[in-house]
């Protein structure tokens, strides 16, 4: 299986979905140049991790704001996973990952384990479907989801080859959370790709250091810090290679 996957360590503009889509495209074009088949952005990347304005900036899966991402996904044959607040048919607000697929469809994953600090705004969701990317099955997770071992175990039981996680992690929580991700990779024999923020969002400073772990739990590569960057992993002949590129 040959597979190219990428994590965008990106900055978001608070509540400005159209501007954030344009910024996502910069990462998307870079990933497409490298032949990426999957590109994952941080948690709530289309609005920023901005809890106080999340409901007023909720994104519909069929929104025309996503059309530039749909076009890029089709042109590059790449699945683009962007984070956004979404409202369900009971007017409950969820933290979601919107997977824009090459066929133009949008698959929605809704965060299962809302953090205590998010409960006054968001409702825990039902999760969502795995993604098929080439020959790989990709299970999605959003930040706190990945702190529950049962979540990763369920992904593995569904046949996931890749566990794709969009996060907002600060320096204080970084080491503990990435240790879990490494453990999941090793225990469940699935690669783990993590996309963290660059810079400040929602008043919190991200640790950055977006990363990829191989199926044996070894770190393949990580961004050195919190600068905007694209982490690209290439799996060929059962071995991973990787590169971290600054945003250009």
Q: What's the CATH number where 104 sits? A: 3.60.110.10
Checking if the pLDDT of 188 tops 90, the result is yes
Unique residue bearing structure tokens 């889509």 = 21
State how many domains the chain has. 1
Q: What is the mean pLDDT of residues 51-77?
A: 97
Q: Which domain holds residue 211?
A: 3-246
* In the predicted structure, residue 1 carries a pLDDT above the cut 90: no
Mean per-residue pLDDT for 154-180? Answer: 97
Residue 206's nearest CA partner among 19, 10, 5 is: 10
- Mean pLDDT of all residues in 233-248: 96
Q: How far apart are CA 145 and CA 163, in angstroms?
A: 11
Average pLDDT, the chain: 97
pTM: 0.97
CA angle 133/191/98 to nearest 5° reads: 45
Contact residues for 142 (Cβ-Cβ < 8 A; gap 6+): 43, 83, 95, 96, 97, 109, 111, 165, 166, 167
Residues in CB range of 219: below 8 A, 6 or more apart: 182, 211, 212, 213
**Token digits for 190?**
């699935």
Per-residue confidence (pLDDT) for residue 2, from 0 to 100: 86
């Amino acid at each position: 299986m040959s597979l190219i996957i990428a994590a965008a360590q990106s900055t978001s503009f608070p509540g400005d979905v159209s501007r954030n889509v344009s910024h996502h495209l910069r990462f998307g074009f870079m990933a497409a140049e490298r032949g990426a088949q999957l590109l994952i952005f941080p948690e709530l990347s289309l609005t920023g991790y901005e809890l106080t304005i999340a409901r007023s900036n909720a994104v519909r899966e069929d929104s025309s704001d996503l059309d530039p991402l749909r076009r890029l996904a089709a042109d590059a044959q790449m699945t683009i996973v962007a984070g956004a607040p979404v409202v369900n048919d009971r007017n409950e607000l969820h933290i979601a990952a919107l997977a824009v697929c090459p066929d133009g469809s949008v698959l929605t994953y809704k965060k299962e384990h809302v953090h205590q600090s998010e409960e006054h705004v968001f409702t825990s969701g039902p999760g969502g479907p795995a993604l098929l990317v080439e020959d790989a099955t990709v299970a999605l997770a959003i930040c706190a989801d990945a702190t529950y071992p049962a979540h990763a175990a369920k992904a593995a039981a569904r046949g996931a080859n890749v566990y794709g996680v969009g996060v907002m992690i600060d320096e204080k929580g970084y080491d503990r959370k990435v240790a879990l991700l490494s453990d999941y990779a090793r225990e469940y024999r699935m690669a783990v790709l993590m996309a963290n923020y660059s810079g400040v969002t929602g008043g919190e400073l991200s640790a950055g250091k977006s990363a990829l772990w191989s199926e044996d739990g070894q770190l393949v590569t990580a961004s050195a810090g919190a600068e905007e960057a694209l982490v690209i992993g290439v799996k060929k002949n059962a071995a991973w290679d990787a590169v971290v590129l600054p945003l250009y």
